[in-house]
Amino acid sequence: MPFLAGIIVIVAIVVLFVIILIALYNSIVSLRNKVENAWHQIDVQLRKRYDLIPNLVETVKGYAAHEKETLQKVIEARNFGINAENVKDQAKAENMITSTLKSLFAVSENYPNLKADQHFSKLMEQLNGIESNIAFARQFYNDIVMQFNTRIQTFPGNMMAGVFKFQSKDYFEIEEPSAREPVKVKF
């Protein structure tokens, strides 16, 4: 009887250990899938922005035809973003787009008729909404990346990550120094 009880205890410990490993593996896979889903949500918002940019450029062209260099930079930044293949390239592209759009908005300030144009105003309103959605999606993505990276870098997840070759994910970071500065308000 004691021999049988010992075997039952050992089997129970092994089964419990296997259940814990399965649960840990499944939690890492679940977080990895959440990271991928969060990235796809960013991608959806970025695609909306990319689709809006040509309309914005065409509207500005009608009023500011001699601002060709600025308009060309906006289109180049958009194309770079569309062709980005990973998080770091996408972040770089988004920094370029933000910078070039700021230039485009500065150009629009010099053309009162453009600022008064209803089509331009509607495009700007849509762009502002998309920018808010992108900011939210970036924050959500970075939160999920932090959870995933923490899970695979802490014990016992780091052992599981090593065995199954889970890799840390990159954050979607703003590299533009001016974006980190406080907003300057002038009255």
Instruction: Please indicate, yes or no, if residue 182 is contained in any of the structural domains.
Output: no
| Residues 151-170, mean pLDDT to the nearest whole number | 95
How confident is residue 177, by pLDDT bands cut at 50, 70 and 90?
Answer: low
Instruction: Please indicate, yes or no, if residue 181 is contained in any of the structural domains.
Output: no
Instruction: Please indicate, yes or no, if residue 82 is contained in any of the structural domains.
Output: yes
Non-local CB neighbours of 114 within 8 Å, separated by 6+ positions: 59, 60, 63, 64, 108, 120
How confident is residue 181, by pLDDT bands cut at 50, 70 and 90?
Answer: low
Instruction: Please indicate, yes or no, if residue 145 is contained in any of the structural domains.
Output: yes
Non-local CB neighbours of 54 within 8 Å, separated by 6+ positions: 75, 78
CATH of the domain at 55: 1.20.1440.20
Instruction: Please indicate, yes or no, if residue 33 is contained in any of the structural domains.
Output: yes
CB 172 within 8 A of CB 81: no
Instruction: Please indicate, yes or no, if residue 183 is contained in any of the structural domains.
Output: no
Please tell me the number of Cα atoms within 13 Å of 1 on its side-chain side: 0
> How many domains does the chain divide into?
1
Instruction: Please indicate, yes or no, if residue 173 is contained in any of the structural domains.
Output: no
pLDDT digits (tens, 9 = 90+) for 35-81: 999 999 999 999 999 999 998 888 888 887 778 888 888 899 999 99
Token couple for 1:
């009887």
Instruction: Please indicate, yes or no, if residue 23 is contained in any of the structural domains.
Output: yes
Q: Which domain does 20 fall in, by range?
A: 2-168
3-class SS of residue 62: helix
Give the least confident one: 29-33, 115-119, 144-148, 176-180: 176-180
pLDDT digits (tens, 9 = 90+) for 122-152: 998 999 899 999 999 999 999 999 999 999 9
Non-local CB neighbours of 155 within 8 Å, separated by 6+ positions: none
Percent of the chain with pLDDT over 90: 58
